Structure 1
Amino acid sequence: MKHRILIADDHQMFIDGLLSILKEDSRFEISATFKNGAQVLKYLDINGAQDLHLLITDLTMPEIDGIELNQQVKENYPTLKTLVVSMHIDGTKIEKLIKGNVDGYVPKNAEKDELLLAIETIVKGEKYFSSEIKKAYTDAMFENRRQEEIHLTEREKEVLKLIAEEYTTQEIADQLFLSKHTIESYRKNLIAKLQVKNLAGLTKQALKLGLLTND
């Protein structure tokens, strides 16, 4: 049985490369190619997905990107498998795709053999994620957990904000009606909590973790 495949990517060169790879393999048949997710959804709306097996999609595309496309396909055409092939290796995006029940993800620089292995694995009903994608995902999960573990008191947030605004220890003490010694203690605690070495690192890490945004 031939496995019928859809391809969505806004780079024609990638589509052409994928076509040349898959045309060499008699198990696969390309049903259609598209420039973005909106075209895919329009096609599926007209033709349905009952005779289709796999959608290979890029992540960043105009109109509807790979994340939203995967979500809509899984909601409306659950029998259609999805494989993301992208040069973007972003742990947060990978997490969204995994939560959206994507069937696989490989980077665009993957070898031909790995791409074919991913397709074979997915059409058999299993998941496939390249080692590079798995690492990016686990790293992102670790970072998320670390962020969740950082709990600052309201006073610590006040001190952190003033440090970021380059107030001196004495100026912060005057502003908050506290002693200089107390502010120095807060500063040491913040450096320890955010696991940095100095005030510059403190501000940088606080920005990265979104701790300086106004609630």
Structure 2
Amino acid sequence: MTASIKVLLIDNHPLVLDGLKAILETYDHIDVVGTAANALAGLSVAVEKRPAVVLMDINMPQINGIEALELFKEKLPSTRMLMLSMHDSREYISTSVMHGASGYILKDVATDEIVAAIEAVASGGTYFSSGVYDVLMERNRDMAQALTSREQSVLLMIAGGKSNRDTALTLEISERTVETHRKNIKRKLGIATTAGLTRYAIENGLIER
């Protein structure tokens, strides 16, 4: 018999939360170990229950789901995060991925797709509902076109953990030029941190994990 997947649900809308719980509990291999109305309460439950998957809304009080992703990743690095949202905007989707979400599905998808997403991320994969995947791929194409070949080289060096000095020596340019490229890359990709740039490179297959 296949082991059940422990799932935690976080949403500040009681009807959504109760409905999801009731539906998912009809699947023998899904074990809803808890629910929470906000991310901080959900984190406390997650630390206690150790779910395999957290299914979390984005728009919530106190801190939103995207902000909460890093807290979950810090406390529970092995727990997989799956975002459930009504928003299919590039900003929400890409930011969720950059902060560590393994999947992103829209609230209007069929129940079977939610279950498929839970199964996929629980097994170590990723899952994006079709509309979300299209938005993500379009954004990645835009980004690839936005970066010059030199900026792409600098990005690879940064993501590989190289310092500005090492990058400058390898590419035979000045450290000041490297810093300028770094700032331009962050601006074009909309990513503020070096960790974010590294995650972007990994997620897009530019470097290995």
User: Shorter-chain-normalised TM-score: which range?
Assistant: 0.5 to 0.7
What residue is the counterpart of 1:115 in the other structure?
114
- Root mean square deviation of aligned Cα: 2.1
**Equivalent residue in structure 2 for 1:5, among 4, 7, 19:** 7
Q: Is the 8 A contact 2:8 2:46 kept in 1?
A: no
- 5+ long unaligned stretches in structure 1: 150-208, 210-215
CA distance in 1, matches of 2:65, 2:96: 9
1:9 offset after TM fit, Å? 0.4
Residue pair 2:81, 2:102 contacting (<8 A) in 1 also: yes
Counterpart of 1:80 in structure 2 is 79
Give distance in 2, aligned partners of 1:90 and 1:72.
Answer: 23
How many Å apart are 1:33 and its aligned residue?
0.6
Q: 1:9, 1:57 within 8 Å by CA — same for their partners in 2?
A: yes
Alpha-carbon offset, residue 76 of structure 1: 2.0
Q: Spell out, residue by residue over 1:128-164, the C-alpha distance to the aligned partner (whole angstroms, 9 max, x if none).
A: 1111111112233445566668xxxxxxxxxxxxxxx
The amino acid across from 2:66 in the alignment is: I
Letter aligned with residue 7 of structure 1: L
Query: Structure 1, residues 149-203: CA drift from partner, whole Å, max 9, x if none?
Result: 8xxxxxxxxxxxxxxxxxxxxxxxxxxxxxxxxxxxxxxxxxxxxxxxxxxxxxx
What SS is found at the alignment partner of 1:109?
coil
The code of the aligned residue for 1:73 comes to F
User: Distance between the aligned counterparts of 1:145 and 1:53, measured in 2?
Assistant: 33
Corresponding residue SS for 2:61: coil
Paired residue secondary structure (2:120): helix
- Give structure 2 stretches of 5+ with no counterpart: 149-187, 189-209
User: What percent of counterpart residues are identical?
Assistant: 27
- Displacement over 4 Å in runs of 4+: 142-149
Residue 58 of structure 2 corresponds to which residue in structure 1? Answer: 59
CA distance in 2, matches of 1:48, 1:23: 17
The two structures have a TM-score, normalised by structure 1, of: 0.62
For the 8 Å contact 1:92–1:140, the answer to whether it is kept is: no
- Displacement of 1:41: 2.0
**2:23 aligned residue:** 21
Compute the TM-score of the two structures, normalised by the length of structure 2. Answer: 0.64
Confirm or deny: 8 A CA contact 2:7 2:54 kept in the other structure: yes
Match of 1:135 in 2: 134
Distance in 2, matches of 1:9 and 1:89, equals: 17
State the distance in 1 between where 2:124 and 2:147 align: 35
